Amino acid sequence: MAAAAGLAPPAGRRIAVVGAAGGIGRALVEALRNAGCTVIGLDLATSLHRHPLPAGVLALAIDATDPDSLARAAQRCGPALDGAVLLAGFAAPRTPAVETDLETWSEVVTGNLTTSFLAARALVPLLRLGTAPSLVTMASGLAVRATPGYAPYGAAKAGVLALTRSLAVELAPTIRINAVAPGAVDTAFLRGGTGRSDETQEPRLNLDAYAASVPLQRIATPDDIVGPILFLLGPASSYLTGQTLHVNGGLVMP
């Protein structure tokens, strides 16, 4: 994907991508490299092994649920960051809320909300030292549009939105923080997640039926999400903080 002039971060900026080996992550890493940025990619060791990052991108294996793992990775991301994107997350198979066991609930909330908190906590000190620093979190349309079977994921992503707003207030004016909330994107995420499945199983939703329900009549691709992320990292969004960009083809209009 070619980065649009003035929308992506300027060449030379140092950007960390947590979840860099996922479908959106790989597309984002490539777009940032095309814009001339220095990219550090963080992800599970299994994901990085399955989807090696391009030459010139520092790949750091992490467990985003482990504060010590993130702290060690942050030491290698320095001495400063100009931007960071928190893409890590996954959803469990569809299950009614009252039939969801505590282990699954805790795993999904930890894997989406707690990991965002821990990654932000680890990277904010480096962002404070950067140039026009911007942090982008990853939410979901399910945070605001209740869909049967996704209570843990929707609740966790609603928490990400609340966390984003809190950080935006607390860290202004030094660091801008905004969220992107996609609808369904045709990646391994719909098949269990990069590093969490073999990526070949059937998607958890009917893609044709879903596309037919979207006003723009198609499911999103990773590049559809990359553009808004680049915008939030770059100078054209310099007066935006604490906001959520819903990227879903018109399916959710909060």
Q: Would you please indicate which residues are annotated as catalytic (active-site) residues?
A: 153
Q: In this structure, are residues 220 and 182 in contact, taking their beta carbons and an 8 Å threshold?
A: yes
Q: Regarding beta strands 83-86 and 58-61, do their DSSP bridges make them parallel or antiparallel, or are they unpaired?
A: unpaired
Q: Which of 21, 65, 71 is nearest to 41 (CA)?
A: 21
The torsion angle over the Cα atoms of residues 155, 209, 244 and 76, rounded to 10 degrees, is: 80
| Angle at the Cα of 233 from the Cα atoms of 229 and 236, rounded to 5 degrees | 100
Q: Which amino acid is at 244?
A: T
Q: In this structure, are residues 62 and 51 in contact, taking their beta carbons and an 8 Å threshold?
A: no
Q: In this structure, are residues 148 and 213 in contact, taking their beta carbons and an 8 Å threshold?
A: no
Chain position carrying tokens 């990619």: 41
Chain position carrying tokens 């000190």: 125
Burial class (CB in 10 A: 0-12, 13-18, 19+), 249: buried
Q: Which of 70, 23, 66, 14 is nearest to 42 (CA)?
A: 70
